[in-house]
Amino acid sequence: MTHSAFSPRTALYLPASNPRAIEKARGLDADMIMLDLEDAVPPDRKDEARAAAVAAVETGFGCPVAIRINAIGSEWHAADLDAVAHSRADYMVLPKVESPRTLAASGKPLLAMIETPDGVQAAATIARQPGVAGLIAGTNDLKAELRIPSGAGREGLVLALQTIVLAARGAGIIALDGVWNRLDDPAGLEEECRQGRAFGFDGKTVIHPAQIEIANRLFGPDAAELEDARALIAAFDGGAVRFRDRMIESMHVDAARRLIGQAEGLRRAD
Ligand SMILES: CC(C)(COP(=O)(O)OP(=O)(O)OC[C@H]1O[C@@H](n2cnc3c(N)ncnc32)[C@H](O)[C@@H]1OP(=O)(O)O)[C@@H](O)C(=O)NCCC(=O)NCCSC(=O)C[C@H](O)C(=O)O
Ligand SMILES: [Mg+2]
């Protein structure tokens, strides 16, 4: 599997300090697993979580696995970086990236989290750094940093989210949307997935097994979209063409090919 072509619909976070969640994750349908050493792990369990993450990736999860390390400047960063570099993780997730200076190299493709005002403003530069394979929106941290009230919707995040997608697209890398915290509100998650896909995100980061089916479905592509894409490619013969009820041009063929490529990439990753 070529990871550069891989575009997950769902990336499931779990605390690496939680052995039950690690075992559960092995049987789940997430496209990517992200073992967390950062905010989901209390300070007195960081060493234990680091060792557990390294051990967990030895066995594999049936999908690409990332380890999220603690940020540059934290007391755990150096040990985390070294552990990931020597582990079998497919990706490293680095939180709170604010500039190329706050990137760290482990030899693994890097998913850089954009979750501070400075990070958003530097997103285009960060996305183009060597080794960066994707950007992840950290919407909890962003909301807190921007002082958006906890009950508010995503209106105040729209500029940041679109900046993240623009930066990723400009660099040709993937963009993953932030998490939905309300565990008992699947309808709200559906709505946010639709919004995230409409913004151009490739997939969503999720925090609970019950969120996987929803995000997989809404970040598609589903059978009807694939049928439409194949028929569109077959119908196109250059210029501007009527296809079913709409006008298509060459960029629509490119988009249809991308959609089919995404579905094939997911099948290969299975
Ligand atoms: C949020 C949770 C703490 C809720 O936990 P809990 O109430 O215990 O869940 P359930 O009882 O409903 O769990 C049912 C079963 O599912 C397993 N489970 C739960 N969550 C996960 C998971 N993420 N991965 C795998 N398995 C999971 C439970 O073990 C139960 O299993 P079983 O007993 O066998 O039936 C919890 O869901 C959780 O810890 N979620 C992940 C939290 C996390 O990693 N947070 C960090 C990333 S979020 C973030 O900060 C992003 C970004 O930085 C930002 O700023 O926005
Ligand atoms: Mg965060």
Mean pLDDT estimate for the chain? 95
- Phi–psi pair at 115, nearest 5 degrees: -150, 20
Q: Is the dihedral of CA 77, 97, 258, 109 positive or negative?
A: negative
Tokens read off for 155: 């209106």
ipTM of the shown complex: 0.99
Q: Tell whether the model's pLDDT for residue 212 goes beyond 90.
A: yes
> How many A from CA of 175 to the centre of ligand 1?
22
Residue 179 beta carbon below 6 angstroms from any ligand 1 atom: yes
Q: Is the CB of 209 under 6 A from ligand 1?
A: yes
pLDDT given at position 2: 37
Mean pLDDT of 13-31: 97
- pLDDT of the residue at 220: 87
Distance, in Å, from the CA atom of 93 to the CA atom of 155, rounded to the nearest integer, reads 26
Supply the pLDDT for residue 6: 84
CATH 3.50.50.100 fits 3-218, yes or no: no
Tens of pLDDT along 114-149?
A: 999 999 999 999 999 999 999 999 999 999 999 999
Q: Is 36 in the pocket of ligand 1 (CB under 6 A)?
A: yes
pLDDT over 70 at 269, yes or no: no
CA atoms 244, 249, 252, 257: torsion sign: positive
Angle at 138 between CA 137 and CA 143, to 5 degrees: 115
Taking residues 145-160, what's their average pLDDT?
A: 96
CB of 256 within 6 A of ligand 1: the answer is: no
Query: Can you give the pTM of this predicted structure?
Result: 0.95
- Distance between Cα 181 and ligand 2 center (Å): 12
**Measured distance CA(180)–CA(264) in Å, rounded:** 27
Quick one: DSSP state of residue 71?
A: P
Nearest to 178, CA basis, from 231, 114, 268, 264: 114
Residue 1: what pLDDT? 35
Which residues of the chain does CATH 3.20.20.60 include? 3-218
Whether cis (ω within 30° of 0) applies to the bond prior to 15 is no
244 lines ligand 1 (CB under 6 A): no
* Residue among 171, 223, 185, 201 nearest 11 (CA): 201
In angstroms, the Cα distances linking 80 to 43, 69, 76, 99, 162 are 13, 6, 6, 20, 31
Ligand 1: residue of 24, 36, 94, 204 to mutate (most ligand atoms within 8 A of CB) is: 24
pLDDT digits (tens, 9 = 90+) for 242-251: 999 999 999 9
Residue with CA nearest ligand 1 atom 12: 208
